[in-house]
Amino acid sequence: MDRGGLEKRNVGENLDALMNLDPRGYGVCRILYAGSREQMGEPLTMRAAEKLCETVKENDLVYILTGFVLLPHKKPEMDGMVSSLLLARALVMAFGAKPVIICPEDCVKSVKKCAGVVGLHVYQDIEDVKKLPLSMGVTAFTKNPARAEIEAKWLIKEALPGAVISVEAPGSNEMGVYHNATGNDVTELEAKTDVLWEMLREKGILNIAIGDLGNEIGMGTIADHIKKYIPFAGSGECVCGCGGGILAASRADHVITATCSDWGCYGLIAALAYLKRDMEILHREEMEAELMRVASRTGLIDMTGSLIPGIDGFNTRLNTGIVSLMRQCTAYAVRYSHNSDHWFGSVLEKGFFEEGDRPWFK
């Protein structure tokens, strides 16, 4: 490992640790991270960001799958939606890419209302997105399983993306049933975007899945770990009677797990800012707070069902705090770490970070 590798790895460790802070204290995020980190073998945020940097080029489409509709109000939640908009902004700033949010119809109005907060024009016609600068797209995807394959094929025929990223997007279990966190059947409420996900994976498109429980697209990547340790995930543990558990069957080449999916997405964006040496790619705290407020006014709800701005029970202050810490940790490495060059060589000489010597490298 050289000086650059040491810095990059430890920035990634910082971001992974911040996205897995556990204010609730019940440890689910730590359980998931143990499984995902073992599977990926290196910091999740930095690994995924590097793959984006290697793959996405100017004017490439990037599909962002998101939008989880919750009981009992049958309203979409903020987690996933908020960070997807900020991810769209980051992709435009980092690559000049053309992001398209693909979500249930329930979320389209919110995307249109919120796009201006992140400084982007929003269009439903992908051709407009491709032609116009500072633009993103939004496309509603069907909830009807009989139409899912048709719509997925149409989207792929319309435009093949350079990458696909899922953020808190619901995924069906092996029996085709979608579940909420407590094991109830929510199949009728959810867009069937995992059908599109599987088609894109089969075509070799770069795919990154972000989740926080196991019922999201891509979490089948660590299926055995989730079934063993996460409530309601094992066979027969869901309460709906299907017998399949909440675990999403779909897999991903790259997974990010976090306390809430939005925090995992912010970690990914921060890693992009680090790799691109441009801190403007990661949004500021003020934009986070404003976006949460506007999103709640458009009808997106907190996990608790509240219309007061919140993401998985965490208010604006906690969310802006996470963003602030990610900004500060990343910005220091981008701007100031060269002032400590004498430390890097000395640390490396001591051998602590030699591959194979520590749990990080297992």
- Establish if 272 belongs to a structural domain: yes
- Establish if 271 belongs to a structural domain: yes
> 3-class SS at 261?
helix
Nearest to 43 by CA among 65, 85, 12, 22: 12
- Establish if 361 belongs to a structural domain: no
- Establish if 169 belongs to a structural domain: yes
Gap between the Cα atoms of 340 and 353, Å rounded: 18
Rounded to the nearest 10°, the torsion over CA 207, 211, 215, 216 is: -30
Phi first, then psi: what are they for 312, rounded to 5°? 55, 40
- Establish if 42 belongs to a structural domain: yes
Rounded to the nearest 10°, the torsion over CA 332, 338, 339, 343 is: 100
Instruction: Count up the domains in the chain and report the number.
Output: 1
> 3-class SS at 40?
helix
Rounded to the nearest 10°, the torsion over CA 152, 155, 159, 162 is: -50
The string of DSSP codes covering 15-26 is HHHHHT--SS-S
**Between the CA of residue 271 and those of 233, 268, 278, what are the distances in Å?**
30, 5, 10
Place of tokens 């992140």: 118
- Establish if 360 belongs to a structural domain: no
- Establish if 362 belongs to a structural domain: no
Gap between the Cα atoms of 290 and 191, Å rounded: 27
- Establish if 65 belongs to a structural domain: yes
The string of DSSP codes covering 61-111 is EEEEEE--EETTTTEEBSTTHHHHHHHHHHHHHHH--EEEEEE-HHHHHHH
> Left (φ > 0), alpha (ψ -120 to 50) or beta: where does 170 sit?
beta
Q: What's the pTM value of the predicted model, to 2 decimals?
A: 0.96
Give residue 120's pLDDT.
98
Give residue 348's pLDDT.
84
| Whether 272 contacts 99, CB under 8 Å | no
Give residue 305's pLDDT.
96
Neighbours of 349 (CB within 10 A): 8
> 3-class SS at 159?
coil
Would you write out the chain's pLDDT as a tens digit for each of its 362 residues?
888 899 999 999 999 999 999 999 999 999 999 999 999 999 999 999 999 999 999 999 999 999 999 999 999 999 999 999 999 999 999 999 999 999 999 999 999 999 999 999 999 999 999 999 999 999 999 999 999 999 999 999 988 999 999 999 999 999 999 999 999 999 999 999 999 999 999 999 999 999 999 999 999 999 999 999 999 999 999 999 999 999 999 999 999 999 999 999 999 999 999 999 999 999 999 999 999 999 999 999 999 999 999 999 999 999 999 999 999 999 999 987 766 677 888 888 888 887 655 555 54
Residue numbers of the domain that contains 220 = 3-354
**What CATH number should be reported for the domain holding residue 199?**
3.90.1640.20
| Whether 192 contacts 141, CB under 8 Å | yes
Strand-pairing partners, residue 94, are none
Which residues are CB-contacts of 250 (< 8 A; sequence separation ≥ 6)?
A: 171, 172, 194, 197, 198, 209, 217, 218, 219, 220
